[in-house]
Chain A
Amino acid sequence: MDKKTSFLARFRGWIQAAATVLTNIHLPNFLKGSLYQGKGKYACVPGLNCYSCPGAAGACPIGSFQAVVGSSKFRFSYYITGILILLGVLLGRFICGFLCPFGWFQELLHKIPSKKLSTKKLRPLRWLKYAILLIMVVLLPVLVTNELGMGDPFFCKYLCPQGVVEGAIPLSMVNPGIRAALGKLFSWKMGILITVVVLSVFFFRPFCKWLCPLGAFYALMNRVSLFTMGVDRNKCISCGACARKCLMDVDITKDVNHPECIRCGMCIQACPTKAIDYKYGFIKVKENEIKE
């Protein structure tokens, strides 16, 4: 069991890379400047990955939700919410830590040498992502509609930087017509992207902490997820190394299913007594484990 868990934590970077490639597997499309139009796009990928990415193998869960509720036929999406609950219960924020391309992007940027700033004092900003989920993704496409009951995908249109990285930029590089169409809206979103990029150098995963609606949803699901962390009370010496190491500002010994824990496993590697572990399944809390 020890070998298995440290494998996940140690090879996380490679898993993130593989997930990014698999999520955007249709590589030739980048040169052709076209989109994958196969049946894979009936389904969603687990992370934040724009459908307008030439390589995208599936649909973005957040984009798809807005597409459904923004259509004149529907006001809520059972299909996408069902998928999100399913993924949330099966994996929770493991998706954020291992499978999301934009999360990986921010972590790569964070590797650029610089003074690193702590987000501990910026805790209140965490609530922003829930507001974005509720307002931009769920409510606005339903409330702000044209005469046909059609609403815009507000998050995709006005906020999501992933769409710029994966869609606007690759497409405008190979397609002069799209290049010519770039205007004020693109400038606004490019500004957001640059801000997130710069912040990611100094802070760890600022978009995930403060802005991502998908992360917000999975955060809500962390408490009921089958993928969890375990802290062996017998081995834990309360040295605080894990809490110090954690870049999501979580003290795992106090709360193994904290909504902000993205299961990155840095605490596992920091623990001097190997008290922390990944756990999967319907867990019955044993005597020697820290209760939630």
Chain B
Amino acid sequence: MQKKTAIQLALLGLSVAMIGFGVWRGEADTVFAKAIRLCMECVGIG
């Protein structure tokens, strides 16, 4: 199953790269800003 292992390794590498890129462009800050404050309508209160 070498092919599958290759795919798995590639995905692992890709995911780490994506995470890094996302953090670099500020996505983690957006996640944080939204996650620590309650936007009522956003969770269906209203």
Contact = CB atoms under 8 A, between A and B. Distances in A.
A186 B17 CA distance: 39
Contacts of B46: 181-186
Contacts of A71: 30
A35 B36 contact: yes
Q: Is the interface of B mostly helix, strand, loop or mixed?
A: helix
A182 B45 contact: yes
Nearest to B19: A82
What size tier do the contact residues of chain B reach? Answer: 35 or more
A120 interface: no
Contacts of B4: 224, 283
A168 B32 CA distance: 20
Contact of B8 (A172, A184, A282): A282
Contact of B25 (A39, A64, A78, A86): A78
Interface in A84-116: 85-86, 88-90
A226 interface: yes
A80 interface: yes
A236 interface: no
Interface of A: 35-37, 39, 41-42, 44, 50-52, 56, 58-60, 63-64, 67-68, 71, 73-74, 77-83, 85-86, 88-90, 152-153, 156-158, 160, 163-164, 167-168, 171-172, 178, 181-186, 188-189, 224, 226, 282-285
Given A81-B22, A82-B20, A85-B18, 8 more contacts: A59-B34, A78-B19, A89-B11, A152-B42, A160-B43, A163-B43, A186-B44, A224-B8
16 contacts: A35-B36, A42-B32, A59-B31, A68-B22, A74-B25, A78-B18, A80-B31, A83-B15, A85-B14, A90-B12, A158-B44, A185-B46, A224-B4, A224-B8, A226-B8, A282-B5
